[in-house]
Chain A
Amino acid sequence: MYNSIVLVKQVPDTANISGKVMKDDGTVNRAKLPAIFNHEDKIALEFALQVKDKFGGKVTAVTMGPPRAADVLRECLYMGADEAYCVTDRKFAGADTLATSYVLSEAIKKIGNYDFVFAGRQAIDGDTAQVGPQTAEKLNIPQITYAEEILDIKDGKIKIRRKIDGGFEIVECRLPVLITVLKGAAEPRPFSAKRVMAFKNAKSLMEIEKLVEGNSLLYADDLLQEYKSRKLFIETLTTDDLDVDLERCGIKGSPTKVHKVESVVLAGGNHIKIEPTRDGISGLIDSLMEDRIF
């Protein structure tokens, strides 16, 4: 039996940015960006579920983000996660990778009892690949990044094939370990229809509080108990629940600051237009030959 914690992130779909996402002043209009489940994190969850299928144990999904990030946790439950934790607090907002890894490592310590921490190699909104190693460092456990395949788990050790520059290597590591998973390493399983029916009403603390706000007949404590008893409660961790130093959270705990943001303005196109005809292209090749390019 091996227990896994999986770190997942809700990200703006940066691959599908339309012109409308940029405001006139050159800043990003986040509200216009569709939010999606970071793909490599889904593969990390698949790795954890495969470990569970083979050896038994528990899979716990964790995300840090605004309350709406609970969406990806519901998706984790649909895929097969046993439990989900939403780490959310205004004081966590604006965190860079250092502050994010600090809060996540504290959440992982709180959840405890794990053999593996799985995460995607990187998230598409920043592509930094930093949160995995930084979380491992704070947990004081080894890390295996760029994992491609789990080859074996036995005697408290895992054998993994990982990508390296220009090839691959096979490493063996004692548990517990944090593993970041490369895209293409596995195909995330589809949602189970049964689990979608079971968990579509799962809610985090903030979501339950919102229900209460809109309805004077409901009492937060009663509702919370009901969700808990029906196993539809997404555990919620705020600064009240974690033993965190606020100086190390959110913007305060983030050494990297954005000094300047420039919207990408393209210089006027001075290019020479070539007709897509034989003559046009022939003329182009002449110019390139004159310039000794060919």
Chain B
Amino acid sequence: MKHNSEVWVFIEQRSGKPADVSFELLSKGRKLADNMGGKLKSIVIGDKVKDIAVETFNFGADECYLIEHPDLHYYRTILYSRILDELIKKEIPRIVLFGATVTGRDLAPRVASNTKSGLTADCTDLKISDVNYLNKPFKDLLLQIRPAFGGNIIATIITPDVPVQMATVREGVMEMHKVDKPKEVKIKEIPFKPEETDNLLVVLEQHREESKVNLKAAPIIVSGGYGLGSKANFNLLYELAHAVGGEVAGSRAAVDAGFITSERQVGQTGVTVRPKLYIAVGISGAIQHRAGMQEANKIIAINTDPDAPIFEISHYGIVGDAAEVIPKFIEAYKHKLK
């Protein structure tokens, strides 16, 4: 099957507000398209979302497909996937990227199934490269890189035999950049045709709260792991964060153990952060966690286990019990401010 060298990014919007991850993907998509000598297209679906379509050009889009209809106000799998299925089958882009949000993780697999495309979830890096696979050369494949198997390995996934390569990426993993000189706005409006099956599922109510936590913007993050042992011990982290002006986060193990809420999870399946300072307390440092914080400017690890992998990527290491180290830290910090 013939395919072009276009990169498409599905632009997710929630009640008319675009998701950050979509613009992050446009920034990455711009690079991928340039590497292949191809175009970057944004796909905007919703009701009265033309502003978002225009905004995508600030993040590098060459062109935008805009599909607007009152029935598309709420995201619904059947409608959104039908739109993408039809567009993809008609135009056969080389790459389609989705945010690994609840919506992206609902939509991307449905579309991949219908178009028989390869799909890799939660990539931590994407690259274009020529590849020799089973002694056959392939030009400009998308390398879909992600940790696998409990973080003991990093796998590079390719989909050499299918025309469309798809991937999802978590929010914060790619960096968002506005382009210096946006291209001229070129929006192609595509009509939406309602079908009878559209109303098999209806959205009755939707409730959203602006997240009060913004880990990505925090200059200092105090993060706790399973090693802290209890929810009560997390209070120490809140005290430290309060003292130094930071936010509290946690590893997946800490979230799974119920020590902290999932919106504060740092790592491959949580948020990726790049703070000035990351203080990792009782975090062993599995690759999935490191994927979400290793680009911090400075990392301090506090752990009772001197062999914990977290020390390997830290700038400063303190071997000791958090219950003793953190109060000393707070005290010493407050003393300096005097």
Residues of A within 8 A of B (CB): 12, 14-15, 17, 21-22, 26-28, 96-98, 101, 125-134, 136-138, 142-146, 159, 163-174, 177, 255-264, 266-269, 271-278, 280-282, 284-289, 291, 293-294
Contact = CB atoms under 8 A, between A and B. Distances in A.
B157 A256 contact: yes
A185 to B, nearest CB: 14
Interface in B192-246: 200-211, 220, 244
Contacts of B149: 12, 14, 17, 28, 125
Given A255-B159, A257-B160, A263-B152, A285 B109 contact: no
B109 A133 contact: yes
A126 B328 contact: no
Count chain B CB atoms within 10 A of each CB in A14, A26, A170, A281 and give the residue with the most: A281
B319 A129 contact: no
A21 B152 contact: yes
**What is the interface of chain B mostly: helix, strand, loop, or mixed?**
mixed
Contacts of B300: 274, 284
- Which 5 A-B pairs rank lowest in CB-CB distance, beginning with the nearest? A276-B320, A14-B150, A255-B118, A167-B208, A130-B109
Given A142-B200, A274-B318, 15 more contacts: A28-B152, A142-B78, A143-B110, A145-B106, A165-B208, A169-B207, A173-B201, A255-B118, A255-B161, A257-B157, A259-B156, A262-B156, A269-B314, A293-B220, A294-B244
A266 B206 contact: no
Contact of A256 (B118, B153, B204, B297): B118
Contacts, number: 239
A127 B103 CA distance: 15
B265 interface: no
Count chain A CB atoms within 10 A of each CB in B109, B147, B298, B321 and give the residue with the most: B109
Nearest to A30: B149
A145 B202 contact: no
Contact of A143 (B106, B298, B318, B325): B106
Contact of A171 (B143, B153, B204): B204
A224 B207 CA distance: 54
A66 B210 CA distance: 45
Contacts of B220: 293
A289 B335 CA distance: 13
